[in-house]
């Protein structure tokens, strides 16, 4: 059954089918919310905001019009707005990565030096993404993590496709600029004599 068919059935009174819609999108929406919250170290409330997103979507399902957007685009928009609303409420909350207690763990099979370097790189990439302005960070997460196309991202962010491309260009350039000193290979010249 497609999303459209499920929505029609739900609107006709078969509300039990909403669980199927939730099952289809819950992991993606939770991951999206989790990534949006990383910059503020508020990941602990990601599940609550995911539930709130699905509750808001259920309450507003009667107003959903498929001709304006796909269900997934509509749902991501609700998720984004829910997170932004929560962040506005908790604007003063700032926790550093060290205080969050989140540390990457390497497998026991890995060499300690390799694991440490890999964890350090992961942390640097995460910090670079988290330092981006909200719209750039959201666009990058939707494109790179959720593999959405430009039009879907534009609909979710309320932007044009060209604006999304610009946001992604600036986000990638900023991340590259921040990480270049750490990931570029040094060039050694042999000295003569």
* Predicted local confidence at residue 167, as pLDDT: 92
3-state helix/strand/coil string of 27-88: HHHHHHHHHHHHHHCCHHHHHHHHHHHHHHHHHHHHHCCCCCCCHHHHHHHHHHHHHHHHHH
* Predicted local confidence at residue 38, as pLDDT: 78
Within 10 angstroms of residue 145's Cβ, the number of other Cβ atoms is 14
- The whole-model pTM stands at 0.64
Predicted confidence (pLDDT) at residue 39 exceeds the cutoff of 80:
no
112-171: per-residue pLDDT in tens? 666 666 667 777 877 888 888 888 988 988 888 888 889 989 988 889 999 999 999 999
User: What is the percent of the chain where pLDDT is above 90?
Assistant: 26
Mean pLDDT, rounded, for 84-104: 59
43-58: per-residue pLDDT in tens? 788 999 999 999 999 9
The dihedral through the CA atoms of 4, 82, 137, 124 has a sign that is negative
* Predicted local confidence at residue 128, as pLDDT: 83
- Domains defined for the chain, CATH in brackets: 1-103 (1.10.1740.10), 113-185 (1.10.10.10)
Predicted confidence (pLDDT) at residue 185 exceeds the cutoff of 70:
no
Determine which helix (DSSP H) or strand (DSSP E) holds 176, and give its type and residue range. Answer: helix 161-183
Quick one: tokens of 96?
């550093």
Could you give the CA distance from residue 115 to residue 135 in angstroms, rounded to a whole number?
Answer: 32
Could you give the CA distance from residue 35 to residue 41 in angstroms, rounded to a whole number?
Answer: 10
Within 10 angstroms of residue 84's Cβ, the number of other Cβ atoms is 13
95: closest CA among 130, 135, 146? 130
Mean pLDDT, rounded, for 29-39: 86
Quick one: tokens of 83?
């997170």
Q: What is the mean pLDDT of the chain?
A: 80
């Amino acid at each position: 059954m497609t999303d459209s068919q499920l929505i029609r059935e739900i609107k006709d009174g078969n509300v039990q089918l909403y669980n199927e819609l939730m099952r289809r999108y819950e992991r993606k929406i939770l991951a999206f919310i989790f990534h949006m919250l990383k910059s503020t170290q508020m990941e602990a409330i990601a599940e609550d905001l995911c539930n709130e997103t699905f509750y808001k979507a259920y309450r507003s399902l009667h107003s959903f019009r498929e001709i304006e957007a796909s269900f997934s685009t509509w749902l991501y928009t609700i998720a984004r707005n829910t997170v932004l609303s929560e962040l506005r409420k908790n604007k003063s909350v700032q926790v550093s990565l060290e205080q969050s207690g989140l540390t990457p763990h390497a497998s026991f099979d890995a060499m300690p030096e390799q694991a440490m370097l890999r964890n350090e790189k992961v942390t640097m990439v995460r910090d670079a993404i988290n330092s981006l302005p909200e719209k750039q960070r959201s666009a990058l997460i939707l494109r790179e993590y959720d593999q959405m196309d430009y039009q879907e991202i534009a609909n979710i962010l309320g932007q044009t496709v060209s604006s999304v491309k610009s946001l992604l260009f600036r986000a990638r350039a900023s991340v590259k600029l921040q990480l270049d000193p750490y990931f570029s290979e040094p060039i050694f010249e042999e000295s003569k004599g």
